[in-house]
Amino acid sequence: MNYWPLLGIALVVLGFALRFNPLLVVAVAAIVTGLLGGLQFVKVLGTLGHGFNENRYVSIIWIILPVVGLLERYGLQERARALIAGIRGATTGRLLIVYLAFRQILSALGLTSVAGHAQTVRPLVAPMAIAAAERAHGELDEDTAERVKAMSAATDNIGLFFGEDIFLAIASILLIQGSLASFGIQLTPFQLSVWAIPTAICAFLIHSTRLLLLDRALARHPRGSEASAALEPNRPPRIGGNGEQA
Amino acid sequence: MIDLHWLYVLAGAVFAGFSVGSARDETNPKRWGNAAFWLLLAASFWFGDFFGDVGNGLLVLALVAIAGFHLIGRGSKESATPAERQRSSDRYGNRLFLPALLIPFTAFVGTLAFNYTPLKGFNLIDPKAVTLVLLGCGVIIALIVSYLWLRPPSLASLDEGSRLANAIGWAMVLPQMLASLGVIFAAAGLGTTIGAMIGAIIPHGSIFLAVLLFALGMVAFTMIMGNAFAAFPVMAAAIGVPVLIHQDGGNPAVIGAVGMLAGFCGTLMTPMAANFNIVPAALLELRNQYGVIKAQVPTAIPLLIANILILYFAAFR
């Protein structure tokens, strides 16, 4: 058995840990792994190109950016914040719990592309979560704003991952069915998707608990009580304002 | 029949638009690098099928060179000041949500219509691409509505789209790159190597330890490959089927379904799952590119424990 290609994995881990440009890391790791695996350079290049071309569908989602950008220019994020500011009792945690339930249920119905980071999180969910946090906390320092935004994205992922397998015709269920069938174990998609439900419930409970804890953490340091907040004047943490370079 | 290739034509046009929008932004000192980057992607969407594998490989290397040597940047141009946006937000009110919601609404209603009404029989849309095609339709409809209603300058959507695209930058093609890395990993035989290594350390006699190794193996291999799909067949062949199902008599449905979900906990914790973890960090313009992963780990670990317990108690009753 050829163990050398394992070095490719080490290269990826090292590259990501040292924060080199990920595209560069992946390209170098791909070429090294291919060569160590005994492929010719031209073959490696071809495999890389073929994989890239076959997976173009992953990048289709970005056709949404012109619409989102245009609406942002006309105040979409400001509107999302105003809406939340007008709802009594709306907190970051409660808002994200509602979104989590919504995302899990839609995914369980097979409607996975209806929501997502580009479709809903950046234009709607994250600005709303920020607005709700500002109400509990006052103006947010950058770390807190970053935490709220990251939690919005995390909630979307968790809702998607632990909802979609309840749907019968999702790729992962079909993959499990196919893999086990190759060993002579015959299962129906229904038998598999039923067993996604306990984990879906656990995911909802665990993540909701964390979201409620986030609410408590936000409420614990209300406006002006933080020393750090007094030191630097805060800009409103609009998502994508200039100067907030990633 | 409308299939993915129609969308590729549309996506190519949008990326070409990003290229034009980037070139127009004089506040970006590296604007020609950005313009070249998006133009290469447009070429990939339009002509990728004609370039051949090696041609596509060279295109990938060119993309990597532009991004890796920091030849792309961001402009500082804001088309509207915060005060203008606030005024516009007050003026248009909650109706501003309508174009944004049109996109998911079109995907939602369209998917239902194509799956549960006689429309299904017309073979209008490739069944494998239904949601993406409808998403594309939603985008076009939302764009037309926005233009008719808000009457922005004619190139505004290109400028605004490329503003967002340049904020995300290289991260936008990372998921595609990682997918090709997965293909190379598989071609180099990594799956069989790792499967054999894990298979060699199977503990005998303890069902719980075997379950633990299966779940942790799913997590580890998922974190390496960036998705649980690549990990499942390997772990099923190494432990799931021979040990848990045949030797210990576990319920195959539980082992299959919950094993995959244990892998999903790994997806939450790895930068290799770039479209879920790295791209959103760029899209939300977080300073820490691992910010989303950091937010997910405290959910992923308890959930993994829950999955291990479900596997153990539900599969071996």
Mean of all residue pLDDT scores within chain A: 86
B72 residue type, one letter: I
The more confident residue out of A23 and B202 is A23
pLDDT (mean) for A17-46? 91
**Pairs of residues, one from chain A and one from chain B, whose beta carbons lie less than 8 Å apart:** 455
The answer to whether B234 touches B259, Cβ cutoff 8 Å, is no
Least confident of A110-119, A198-207, B273-282: A110-119
Q: Is the pLDDT of residue A244 over 60?
A: no
Complex ipTM:
0.87
> What pLDDT is stored for residue A182 in this prediction?
85
Picking from B283, B297, B304 by the largest number of A CB atoms within 10 A of its own CB, the best residue to mutate is B283
> What pLDDT is stored for residue B121 in this prediction?
73
Secondary structure (3-state) at A90? coil
Does A197 contact chain B (CB < 8 Å)? no
Answer yes or no: do A192 and B190 touch at CB < 8 A: no
Nearest to B60 among A49, A73, A185 (CB): A49
The answer to whether B297 touches B268, Cβ cutoff 8 Å, is yes
Confidence at A86, pLDDT banded by 50, 70, 90: confident
Q: Is the pLDDT of residue A231 over 50?
A: no
Phi and psi torsions of A138, nearest 5° = 85, -165
Nearest-Cα residue of chain B relative to residue A125: B284
**In angstroms, what separates the C-alpha of B229 from chain A's closest C-alpha?**
7
Nearest to A55 among B10, B78, B180 (CB): B180
Nearest-Cα residue of chain A relative to residue B85: A75
The answer to whether B42 touches B15, Cβ cutoff 8 Å, is yes
Nearest-Cα residue of chain A relative to residue B106: A114
Q: Is the pLDDT of residue A227 over 50?
A: no
- The sign of the dihedral angle between the CA atoms of B103, B106, B107, B108 is positive
Answer yes or no: do B172 and A59 touch at CB < 8 A: yes
Answer yes or no: do A50 and B193 touch at CB < 8 A: no
Least confident of A106-120, A228-242, B199-213, B230-244: A228-242
Sorted by sequence, the CB contacts under 8 Å of residue A237 that are 6+ apart come out as: A130, A140, A142, A145, A149, A244
- Residues 42-71 of chain A whose Cβ lies under 8 A from any Cβ of chain B: 42, 44-71
Answer yes or no: do B143 and A68 touch at CB < 8 A: no
Residues of chain A with Cβ-Cβ distance to B178 below 8 Å are 26
**In angstroms, what separates the C-alpha of A108 from chain B's closest C-alpha?**
13
Answer yes or no: do A179 and B256 touch at CB < 8 A: yes
Which segments of chain B have a pLDDT < 70? none
Answer yes or no: do A64 and B74 touch at CB < 8 A: no
Would you give the distance in Å from CA B53 to the centre of its chain?
A: 23
Q: Is the pLDDT of residue A239 over 80?
A: no
Strand partners, B2: B125
Least confident of A50-59, A176-185, B75-84: B75-84
The answer to whether A158 touches A100, Cβ cutoff 8 Å, is yes
The answer to whether B2 touches B140, Cβ cutoff 8 Å, is no
Nearest to B303 among A120, A153, A202 (CB): A202
Q: Is the pLDDT of residue A171 over 50?
A: yes
**How many Å apart are CA B17 and CA B35, to the nearest integer?**
9
Q: Is the pLDDT of residue A245 over 50?
A: no
Answer yes or no: do A157 and B277 touch at CB < 8 A: yes
- Residue B220 burial (10 A CB sphere; 0-12, 13-18, 19+): middle
Nearest to A199 among B68, B258, B299 (CB): B258
Q: Whose CA is closest to B252, among A164, A172, A177, A170?
A: A177
pLDDT (mean) for A185-202? 92
Phi-psi region of B163 (alpha: psi -120 to 50; beta: other; left: phi over 0): alpha
**In angstroms, what separates the C-alpha of B205 from chain A's closest C-alpha?**
23
Residue with tokens 């840990």: A17
Residues of chain A with Cβ-Cβ distance to B45 below 8 Å are 56
Does A17 contact chain B (CB < 8 Å)? no
Confidence at A240, pLDDT banded by 50, 70, 90: low
Answer yes or no: do B299 and A175 touch at CB < 8 A: no
> What pLDDT is stored for residue A232 in this prediction?
41
Nearest-Cα residue of chain A relative to residue B180: A51
Regarding pTM above 0.90, the answer is no
Nearest-Cα residue of chain B relative to residue A17: B271
Would you give the distance in Å from CA B176 to the centre of its chain?
A: 8
> What pLDDT is stored for residue A222 in this prediction?
62
